[in-house]
Amino acid sequence: MKAVMWWVVILGVQAPGMLASQADTSVAPLELRARADSNDPLALYDLAHAYLNSGRTDEAQRLLETSVQIDGEFAAAYALLARIRVIRSGANGVFSDRFAVAHPSVLAGSPDSATLLFRRSALLEPMQELDPPAGLEQPASWRSPLWGALQEFWHGRFDQSAAKLQLAIAKADKKHHAPPPVALWYHALSEYSLRHVDTSIVDLERLLDAIKIDSSLLEQSTNQRVRYALAYLHQLAGHTQAAESLYQQVIERDLSLDLAHMQLARLYETEERWPDAIRERRAALMIAPEDPTFLYDLGVTLLEAGELSEAADTLRRVVVRCPRNTRAYYALGLTLERMRQPQSAGAAYDRFLQLAPSRYAEMISDAKARREHLDAGH
């Protein structure tokens, strides 16, 4: 498998439990960091989390909205923003787990805005627990033995939850009974949290096999979620063909799913299948034409494919729509440098260096070196 370009995706996947990990962090140093790195979505997210814990909900919401405007593929920020919507609504219980797509326009607020934000977070990072899916509730006879395992999971003791859930699954297998879907789902989440991707794949494959035998076992929307999560796991494991097939099945069932096209594009990029990757980037944009992050993704893919003129035009549109997406200036500088336009490339690098968060240290170092090289060439 080819390596993914390190400068394409700066924000890493947020591990399960990340949303609660900042609970004891004091506000003052995070405020200093956010002021110094005002274009860093992660710095804004961390401060928002601290504000929320301090009861400063309005400020937290504004920071999170800015965070996802800078990076529309920041799963944890969408999830925390959704939780704020839940707090404001005073809602209790579990949201409907219908599989749908949410665009940044939901920030304007709709009756289902929290649900839509949760969905988008789940599509960006499928192997996280946001709220237990309604279609995966356990039968009454399983509630007592599974409750202890779920308590371990919710406290972040994933090795213990995995072990207890495995015992429950083995007990069902011994009796030739199908384990309840919730056991397989949470075992998959636990193993994923322990970085045992192959074991998670086995769990979700069992879920899909059970669905094929009994189509009433899960709601159709939850079936889609499991299929999408399984595709994501195969993608992480480098199983290109399996992931591609599953993503395509998801898209066939929901033609409006922009993030499935995004995942397919990433998959094709690891294989350097540039025409396929470009096609999927365009498909995502067709569904969400106002999304500047999808536009940025297309520009980067065009750059890597050697389509420099179109890449430059696309990235220029990004910096107009979202001037705080500093990665776009860096990518534009690279593009213009390869097009032998040193003056324009230098200007793009300068803008990147003015705005880039300190966390982008490797990109900053590279941009400085390229800028010096361009100066030396004159």
Whose structure tokens read 């968060």? 357
Angle 14-276-200 from CA coordinates, rounded to 5°: 35
What pLDDT score does 137 carry?
Answer: 53
Going from the C-alpha of 296 to that of each of 301, 317, 358, the distances in angstroms are 9, 9, 21
Angle 251-254-256 from CA coordinates, rounded to 5°: 95
Encoding tokens for residue 117? 């934000």
227 and 311 share a domain? no
299-358 pLDDT per residue, tens: 999 999 999 999 999 999 999 999 999 999 999 999 999 999 999 999 999 999 999 999
Three-state secondary structure call for residue 15: coil
Question: Considering the domain boundaries, does residue 267 fall inside one?
Answer: no
Question: Considering the domain boundaries, does residue 262 fall inside one?
Answer: no
pTM tops 0.85, yes or no: no
309 and 346 share a domain? yes
205 and 150 share a domain? yes
Question: Considering the domain boundaries, does residue 305 fall inside one?
Answer: yes
Encoding tokens for residue 167? 């015992």
Three-state secondary structure call for residue 327: helix
Question: Considering the domain boundaries, does residue 213 fall inside one?
Answer: yes
Q: How far apart are CA 158 and CA 232, in angstroms?
A: 20
To the nearest 5 percent, what fractions of the chain are helix, strand and coil?
70, 0, 30
What pLDDT score does 24 carry?
Answer: 44
120 and 140 share a domain? no
Instruction: Tell me the Cα Rg of the chain.
Output: 22
What pLDDT score does 140 carry?
Answer: 57
Angle 30-326-29 from CA coordinates, rounded to 5°: 5
What pLDDT score does 230 carry?
Answer: 96
Q: How far apart are CA 130 and CA 226, in angstroms?
A: 14
Alpha helices in 125-257 (DSSP H): 143-154, 158-174, 181-193, 197-213, 220-237, 240-253
Question: Considering the domain boundaries, does residue 2 fall inside one?
Answer: no
Domain holding 26, by residue range, is 18-124
Which H or E run contains 39? Answer: none
Crossing angle between the packed helical segments 57-70 and 41-53, to the nearest 10 degrees: 160
Encoding tokens for residue 15? 């591990």
User: Which among 16, 51, 17 is positioned nearest to 34, based on CA atoms?
Assistant: 51
What pLDDT score does 178 carry?
Answer: 82
Question: Considering the domain boundaries, does residue 221 fall inside one?
Answer: yes
Question: Considering the domain boundaries, does residue 4 fall inside one?
Answer: no
Max alpha carbon distance in the chain (Å)? Answer: 78
138 and 217 share a domain? yes
Reading phi first (left if > 0) and then psi (alpha if -120 to 50, else beta), residue 195 is in left
User: Which among 75, 78, 69 is positioned nearest to 38, based on CA atoms?
Assistant: 69
Q: Is the CB of residue 368 less than 8 Å from the CB of residue 354?
A: no
Within 10 Å of residue 42's Cβ, how many Cβ atoms? 22
What pLDDT score does 11 carry?
Answer: 41
Within 10 Å of residue 341's Cβ, how many Cβ atoms? 16
Which residues of the chain are under the pLDDT cut of 70?
A: 1-25, 90-112, 130-145, 213-221, 378
Number of domains in the chain: 3
Whose structure tokens read 């609970």? 23
State phi, psi for 200 to the nearest 5 degrees.
-60, -40
227-269 pLDDT per residue, tens: 999 999 999 999 999 999 999 999 998 878 899 999 999 999 9
Domain end (from 124, 143, 173) = 124
Q: How far apart are CA 109 and CA 117, in angstroms?
A: 10
Any idea what the CATH number is for the domain that residue 199 is in? Answer: 1.25.40.10
What pLDDT score does 108 carry?
Answer: 39
120 and 139 share a domain? no
What pLDDT score does 267 carry?
Answer: 97
150 and 71 share a domain? no
User: Which among 260, 271, 257, 258 is positioned nearest to 230, based on CA atoms?
Assistant: 260
State phi, psi for 187 to the nearest 5 degrees.
-65, -40
Q: How far apart are CA 108 and CA 86, in angstroms?
A: 15
223 and 334 share a domain? no
Domain end (from 225, 254, 283) = 254
Domain end (from 124, 147, 172) = 124
